[in-house]
């Protein structure tokens, strides 16, 4: 298999560039891509070290490297472009058309929106602390401050989804496990009834739930396919009866689930706001 080196050069973490790059390169079969990462490249010294390394990489591989760049500082970009490489410049490519469309020059500076970022960042960290403190029904005391409360059977994906919603989108996401007592009672527990508008459900195929639970407690009643089938059916009956929207986790990643949930949350908020 052919192998090509991909250098990721960023003045920040480079995480966004890498994710986008993964999507692009997954479109090419039969080639193996080797990543080398240069995050926090924010000075001429660091850019110069990158430049030298790019030249070495071309010699080692016998073919020029691919360079995926996100650098705000045009001076560093110009310096790096001396290398023999294919440059995919995620900022520079789009800054010129944006300048023309918006009728003004870009500031070309790193971390400009820091004041706002700091507030947004504090919000995300606070949301994450909230999600941890309200994981798995630990505490119902603060449900009134939650943006969303996820319900579903144990191991249906509530915890990772809550954490992702908080960390990525700054939503205060609590979660509450539906357990056999809830099914026997046949209605939601008292602590949740006042917050019906914030409730969203997760469901999952019983076979997948069985596999996940087996890893945790092998050969248990809890993990058995019969019990998983019964719990999933009872949870869906309960959610249907209570009018809780739910989504199926089976073939979704937590990122996909979170964005689907965001759409549901926005729709519901709009509906609530429209009420007289």
Among residues 89 and 242, whose Cβ is nearest to a copy of itself? 89
Q: Is the dihedral of CA 165, 166, 167, 168 positive or negative?
A: positive
Residues numbered 112-131 forming contacts with a copy of itself, rule: CB under 8 A = 112-113, 117, 121, 125, 128
CA 167 to chain centre: 8
Contact between 101 and a copy of itself per CB under 8 A:
yes
Among residues 59 and 102, whose Cβ is nearest to a copy of itself? 102
Tell me how far, at minimum, the Cβ of 269 lies from a copy of itself, in Å. 15
Residues numbered 30-59 forming contacts with a copy of itself, rule: CB under 8 A = 30-31, 39-40
Among residues 168 and 191, whose Cβ is nearest to a copy of itself? 168
Residues numbered 160-219 forming contacts with a copy of itself, rule: CB under 8 A = 160, 163-164, 167-168
State how far the Cα of 163 lies from the Cα of 150, in Å rounded to an integer. 11
How many residues lie near a copy of itself (CB under 8 A)? 62
In which order are the strands placed within the sheet that holds 246-248? 173-178, 148-153, 199-203, 246-248
Contact between 254 and a copy of itself per CB under 8 A:
yes
Contact between 268 and a copy of itself per CB under 8 A:
no
User: Which residues of the shown chain bind a copy of itself in the complex (CB under 8 A)?
Assistant: 4, 12-17, 19-20, 22-31, 39-40, 66, 70, 72, 86, 88, 90-91, 93-95, 97-98, 101-102, 104, 106-109, 112-113, 117, 121, 125, 128, 132, 135, 159-160, 163-164, 167-168, 253-256, 258-260, 263
């Amino acid at each position: 298999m052919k192998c090509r080196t991909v250098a990721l050069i960023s003045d920040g973490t480079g995480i966004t560039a890498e994710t986008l790059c993964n999507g692009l390169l997954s479109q090419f079969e039969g080639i193996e891509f080797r990543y080398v990462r240069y995050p926090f490249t924010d000075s001429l010294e660091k850019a110069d070290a990158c430049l030298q390394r790019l030249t070495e990489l071309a010699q080692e591989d016998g073919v020029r490297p691919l360079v995926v760049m996100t650098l705000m500082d045009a001076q560093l970009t110009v310096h790096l472009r001396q290398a023999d490489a294919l440059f995919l410049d995620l900022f520079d490519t789009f800054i010129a058309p944006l300048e023309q469309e918006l009728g003004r020059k870009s500031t070309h500076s790193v971390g400009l929106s820091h004041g706002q970022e700091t507030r947004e960042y504090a919000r995300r960290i606070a949301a994450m602390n909230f999600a941890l403190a309200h994981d798995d029904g630990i505490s119902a005391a603060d449900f009134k401050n939650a943006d969303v409360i996820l319900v579903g059977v144990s191991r249906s994906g509530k915890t990772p989804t809550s954490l992702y919603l908080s960390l990525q989108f700054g939503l205060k996401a609590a979660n509450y496990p539906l357990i056999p007592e809830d099914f026997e009672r046949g209605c939601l527990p008292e602590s949740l009834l006042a917050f019906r508008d914030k409730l969203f459900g997760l469901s999952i195929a019983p076979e997948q739930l069985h596999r996940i639970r087996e890893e945790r407690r092998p050969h248990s009643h809890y993990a058995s396919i019969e019990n998983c089938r019964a719990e999933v059916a009872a949870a869906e009956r309960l959610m249907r009866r209570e009018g809780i929207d739910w989504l199926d986790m089976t073939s979704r990643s937590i990122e996909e689930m979170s964005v689907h949930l965001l759409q549901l949350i926005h729709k519901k908020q709009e509906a609530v706001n429209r009420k007289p």
